[in-house]
Amino acid sequence: MNTKDRAREIHARLKGRYPAPAPALDWTNAWELLVATVLAAQCTDERVNKVTPVLFERWPDIASLAEADVAQLETVVRSTGFFRNKAKNLKAAARRVVDVYGGEVPRTMADLITLGGVARKTANIVLSNAFNVHEGIAVDTHVKRLSFRMGLTANTDPVRIEKDLMPLYPRAAWGEINHFLVYFGREVCPARTPKCASCELNDICPKNGVGK
């Protein structure tokens, strides 16, 4: 089976397994999703969902976070790790959204990645989930690991992986590719001990990346 056929087959089977993927992060608007996604770097979504209610209680909108006391913000986001970077980046991002984008979260990749702490992965998540705009595919730790193991890419650099994945799927599916691979990665094919014996993709998996 060639790469494109395998990619389509993976998508079809995962779509059957996850017919209506529920979002893992809790959010009610684009700004909340942006904040939650920044906090999710090297951190479980479960922990992010415990922090964001406290954060949005104290700083309910973009304008208030732009004026936040950084030390207080650090305390609130501390348990998500990288807390100094995250606090500094979030306040600066809020400041820039207010000053440059009229208080509205920008809706393009080019504008989103001008915000500190926001690169392609975070921008793709916000664009596809909050705005239904698909400029690319969000490549996080799960998408990276699964794409390599399933032979959809020979690269390890997230930007190259994204460029390898994009031509394999119709643009309308770019958003759900992330969801499917994240959930499947968690439940069946985690980094450390993949459940190959009970995996429904076993027959089409080259297994060329397991253990790496």
Partner DNA sequence: ATCCCGAGGG
Partner DNA sequence: CCCTCTGGAT
Tokens for 18? 């996850």
Closer to DNA at the Cβ: 106 or 117?
117
Report how far residue 116's alpha carbon sits from residue 22's, in angstroms, rounded to the nearest whole number.
28
Query: Is position 116 an interface residue for DNA (rule: CB under 7 A)?
Result: yes
Give the per-residue contact string, 128-167, with DNA (x = CB under 7 A; - = no).
----------x-xxx--x------------x---------
Report how far residue 103's alpha carbon sits from residue 192's, in angstroms, rounded to the nearest whole number.
42
- Which of the residues 54 through 73 are near DNA (CB under 7 A)? none
50 counts as catalytic: no
Query: Is position 82 an interface residue for DNA (rule: CB under 7 A)?
Result: yes
Q: Which helix (H) or strand (E) holds 16?
A: helix 3-17
Q: Which of 10, 14, 30, 40 binds DNA (CB under 7 A)?
A: 40
For 202, the 3-state DSSP assignment is helix
Query: Is position 119 an interface residue for DNA (rule: CB under 7 A)?
Result: yes
How much helix, strand and coil, in percent to the nearest 5, is found in the chain?
Answer: 60, 0, 40
Closer to DNA at the Cβ: 2 or 132?
132
Q: Are 4 and 168 in contact (CB under 8 A)?
A: yes
Query: Torsion over CA of 107, 113, 114 and 117, rounded to 10 degrees?
Result: 120
Residue from 91, 121, 144, 164 carrying the catalytic annotation: 121
205 is in an annotated binding site: yes
Query: Is position 192 an interface residue for DNA (rule: CB under 7 A)?
Result: yes
Q: Are 99 and 106 in contact (CB under 8 A)?
A: no
Query: Is position 28 an interface residue for DNA (rule: CB under 7 A)?
Result: no
Q: Which of 121, 134, 151, 168 binds DNA (CB under 7 A)?
A: 121
**What is the C-alpha R_g of the chain?**
18
Q: What are the catalytic residues?
A: 121, 140
The contact set with DNA (CB under 7 A) reads 23-25, 37-38, 40-47, 78-85, 89, 113, 116-123, 125, 138, 140-142, 145, 158, 178-179, 182, 185-186, 190-192
